[in-house]
Amino acid sequence: MMQENKNIDLSGLKETIQRLESGGGYGYEASPISLGTSAVDDRLPWGGLARGGLHEINGGNAGFGFHAGLLRRAAGADGCILWCRHAKVERETGLPYGPGLARFGLRAGQFLFVRAKHPVDVLWAMEEGLRTPGLAAVVGDGIQPDFTATRRLQLAAEAMNTPAFILPPLQKTTFASAALTRWDIAAVLNKHRNKTMRWQANLRRCRGGAPKNWIIEWDEQTLRFDLAQILADRTTAPDQRQSA
Amino acid sequence: MPVSGGTRVSAVDSAAASEGIHPGMTLADARALLPSLLVATADPDSDANALNKLVDWCGRYTPFTAADGPDGIILDISGCAHLFCGEEGLLIDLAAQFKRMRLTARIAAADTPGAAWGWARYGADEMTIHKGGIKDAMLPLSVAALRLAPDVIERLQQLGLHRIRDIINLPRAPLARRCGMTVLDRLDRVLGYVSEPISPVRPSPEWRTRLPFVEPIGRAEDIAMATKKLLDDLCDILGKHNRGARQLTLVLYRVDGTTQNISIGTGQATRNAKHLYRLFTEKLGTADPGFGIEVMILEAQATNPLSGGQMGIAGHNPGHQQDLTPLIDRLRNRLGDQGVFRITPVASHIPERAVTTQPATAKATDDDWIADQPRPIRLLTYPEQIIVEAPAFHHPPKRFVWRRRTHQVKYAEGPERISPEWWRPDAGRTFRDYYRLEDQYGRRYWVFHDCGQIEITDMGWFMHGLFA
């Protein structure tokens, strides 16, 4: 009897337990968010963008574009996205516009918007979302959380393996942050502007990885990021902080 | 209280009454009787407010409470008395509570509201209970106990009819002719020949649970525990009747005779006590126990049928589309109904009309936009006027100033003409020519020229959106 028991293969069971413990039992794989191009994915320590993590994306409208691409990569065509907006910055940055988001393969039915007057409520709503199973991504729009708040969000993101994104307001002061990555996105002069959307993506910080700089574009046909082929005529925009 | 003929006394306390002062007297007369009289200005509005608060407080005994005149409260205690060991127990408790609040009260319980009214005001004792045999019990009372107008009472007294026993056996027709139908009507009501429903101050809840405390509680943990207990009980009851709660109110009855209501709503009928408790935890922070809470009552104002069966177990719902209702409920309870919403496409060419919002509880739409033209990723809440330098009409600008910064236009595309929706009555009448502009840093903007403006090339330009 004892002999037989020893021979039982426990690896499958262990895998299940690990999956349950990491909160990944809801249909979303614990796999990282692939940007769609190995040139970027391989340079990130997770082999893509960590799914259960907090990511900060700066850079005004260029940043919004890059972020929309990431959302599509993270949520697919039917994952539900909780988008928490800080009402105060609406006038400055405008409202997320559905027809524009549709170019990134995101559908209207995927979004659940939250609009709060206080940043505290935005953070609260984000955390509620991150701790609810079944969401594909959670966005904090127009807030600038301090270290403690980002730490909380990071832990909440890990709990259910849901990616969280922070889009800070344009007028921001840099805070210490517990986010896994911080991206600065800048517009790039682009003669093929109508065909592709192209940005300079500057990975400023990355936990467990080195900062890196790419010029990447969004491919509307295949719905993935790619390295820009033409590197001519590139002038990057100055930091949005001074420009806005 | 100033009325014609000078300031008059509107109410007196027992000490003043024993000196012979009564309501209706002029103040001068009262002062002549008792020079040391203490006078305060009557404030009927505040009195009414205080009475209404007391009516709310009385909800701890029964959900059917109503103010009765300027100085009375009427409670329908049918089916509630057993909670206080019978009617007597209820009245003793009520009297004790009023005494503690330093309120002078006369209390009576009877089979009909009319009889209770009469006994409370004209009975011999401060507390009276009458079960059955109303007719005999009412006989010695004054006719004033029938809730009659002063002139009717006066007429009855002129006829020598002072007590109910005097009129109760009189022929009805002549009595009605002499004194009006009211007398008979009131008499019938008192005796229970005619039913008299009382209209409660708050709509009576469909379902409620109640939790009294031996000692008043005040700690947040205790309130939370009590809420949990009430929710468990209520959800049990709802489960037995296949109902789910849509709207719940937790009423805290404080020692000092005041109440506080805490309400929550759900997007879908539910009797999941855990979920409902989470909704309450958000708001329990606002609970103010004051000097202590003696009774907590949980009421379900709105319920929907909810068939039985397994309540969902978290994590056992396969597939991507998980039920987000609990999350939406929590968000809505904290941020309000306007704070959580979905977006839906609208078939319109006007950019700001292409999106509409709908409540978060609505079904997620399957519609989508037709992406035939590039659209910006952000749309400004209102188009913002920009200063442009345009070479000619129907030509894109060379340079523009937006939010006090000058942008050199490197590339421009357009115009894309968007016509007004003439079939809508509130539509404008001017065309908009939209251009996509790219500035010297590669940032891309969506601006339009309002063609209805005077034909000056550099006027009527607006920034409307930002491209990614």
Per-residue model confidence as pLDDT tens digits over B84-102: 888 888 888 888 888 888 8
CATH of the domain at B223: 3.30.1490.100
Closest B-chain CA to A192:
B411
0.80 surpassed by pTM: no
Per-residue model confidence as pLDDT tens digits over B52-83: 888 888 888 887 888 887 888 888 887 777 77
Q: Is pLDDT larger for residue B82 or for residue A242?
A: B82
Residue B418 is predicted with a pLDDT of: 86
What domain range includes position B13?
2-33
Based on the domain organization, do B172 and B61 belong to the same domain? yes
Based on the domain organization, do B186 and B261 belong to the same domain? no
Average pLDDT value for residue range B140-149: 81
Residue after which a domain boundary falls, among B191, B220, B244: B191
Burial class of residue B251 in the structure, from the number of CB atoms within 10 Å of its CB (0-12 exposed, 13-18 middle, 19+ buried):
buried
Residue A113 is predicted with a pLDDT of: 93
Question: H or E stretch including B418?
Answer: strand B405-418
Based on the domain organization, do B166 and B85 belong to the same domain? yes
Closest B-chain CA to A92:
B380
Task: Evaluate whether residue B322 is within a structural domain.
Answer: no
Interchain CB distance below 8 Å, B379 and A95:
yes
Residue after which a domain boundary falls, among B277, B305, B333: B305
Per-residue model confidence as pLDDT tens digits over A169-227: 887 767 788 899 999 999 887 665 555 688 899 998 888 888 989 989 888 888 899 88
| Domains, chain A, ordered by start | 29-169+176-181 (3.40.50.300)
Task: Evaluate whether residue B323 is within a structural domain.
Answer: no
Cα separation, B352 vs B381, in Å, equals 9
Task: Evaluate whether residue B41 is within a structural domain.
Answer: no
Task: Evaluate whether residue B316 is within a structural domain.
Answer: no
CA distances from B40 to A241, B1, B12, B30, B106 (A): 66, 9, 10, 13, 23
**B390 pLDDT exceeds 50?**
yes
Based on the domain organization, do B181 and B130 belong to the same domain? yes
**Range of weakest confidence among A3-12, A61-70, B159-168:** A3-12
Interchain CB distance below 8 Å, A125 and B326:
no
* B positions 382-441 inside 8 Å of A (CB): 403, 405, 410-411, 413, 436, 438, 440-441
Which chain B residues are within 8 Å of A186, Cβ to Cβ?
441-442
Residue B333 is predicted with a pLDDT of: 87
Average pLDDT value for residue range A219-241: 66
Per-residue model confidence as pLDDT tens digits over B221-274: 899 999 999 999 999 888 888 888 888 889 898 888 788 889 888 878 888 888
Tokens 């109910």 sit on residue: B164
**A239 pLDDT exceeds 50?**
no
Residue B314 is predicted with a pLDDT of: 44
Based on the domain organization, do B25 and B62 belong to the same domain? no
Interchain CB distance below 8 Å, B371 and A102:
yes
Average pLDDT value for residue range B152-178: 82
Residue B89 is predicted with a pLDDT of: 84
Based on the domain organization, do B175 and B60 belong to the same domain? yes
- Give the mean pLDDT of chain B: 82
Residue B134 is predicted with a pLDDT of: 73
Per-residue model confidence as pLDDT tens digits over A110-166: 999 999 999 999 999 999 999 888 899 999 999 989 999 999 999 999 888 899 999
Per-residue model confidence as pLDDT tens digits over B323-379: 788 888 889 888 888 889 998 888 888 888 888 888 888 877 777 887 678 889 999
Based on the domain organization, do B385 and B460 belong to the same domain? yes
Structure tokens at A15: 């895998």
Residue A27 is predicted with a pLDDT of: 36
> Which span out of B134-138, B141-145, B311-315 was modeled with the highest average pLDDT?
B141-145
Average pLDDT value for residue range B162-174: 82
Task: Evaluate whether residue B367 is within a structural domain.
Answer: no
Q: A236 and chain B: CB distance < 8 Å anywhere? A: yes
Cα separation, A130 vs A33, in Å, equals 16
Q: How high is the ipTM of this complex?
A: 0.81
Q: B336 and chain A: CB distance < 8 Å anywhere? A: no
Task: Evaluate whether residue B73 is within a structural domain.
Answer: yes
Q: What percentage of residues in chain B have a pLDDT greater than 90? A: 7
Based on the domain organization, do B164 and B69 belong to the same domain? yes
Average pLDDT value for residue range B395-419: 88
Q: A93 and chain B: CB distance < 8 Å anywhere? A: yes
Interchain CB distance below 8 Å, B334 and A121:
yes
CB-based burial, A105-135: b 16+ in 10 Å, e otherwise: bbbbbbbbbbbbeebebbbbbbbbbbbbbbb
- Of the candidates B72, B204, B84, B77, the residue with the CA atom closest to the CA atom of residue B145: B72
Based on the domain organization, do B60 and B26 belong to the same domain? no
Task: Evaluate whether residue B97 is within a structural domain.
Answer: yes
* A positions 144-183 inside 8 Å of B (CB): none
Residue A242 is predicted with a pLDDT of: 41
Which chain A residues are within 8 Å of B334, Cβ to Cβ?
121, 124-125
Based on the domain organization, do B143 and B211 belong to the same domain? no
Angular region, A27: left φ>0, alpha ψ -120 to 50, beta rest: left
Task: Evaluate whether residue B371 is within a structural domain.
Answer: no
Per-residue model confidence as pLDDT tens digits over A22-54: 444 333 346 888 898 888 888 888 888 888 899
Average pLDDT value for residue range B26-40: 82
Which chain A residues are within 8 Å of B326, Cβ to Cβ?
132
How many CB atoms sit inside 10 A of residue B269's CB?
Answer: 16
- Of the candidates B139, B200, B203, the residue with the CA atom closest to the CA atom of residue B167: B139
Which chain B residues are within 8 Å of A191, Cβ to Cβ?
411
Per the structure, how many domains does chain B have? 4
Based on the domain organization, do B106 and B182 belong to the same domain? yes
Residue after which a domain boundary falls, among B134, B157, B191: B191
**A86 pLDDT exceeds 90?**
yes
Tokens 């939790």 sit on residue: B211
Based on the domain organization, do B131 and B179 belong to the same domain? yes
Residue A25 is predicted with a pLDDT of: 39
Q: What percentage of residues in chain B have a pLDDT greater than 70? A: 91
Mutate to test the interface with B, among A57, A61, A243 (most CBs of B within 10 A): A61
B82, B275 Cβ separation under 8 angstroms: no
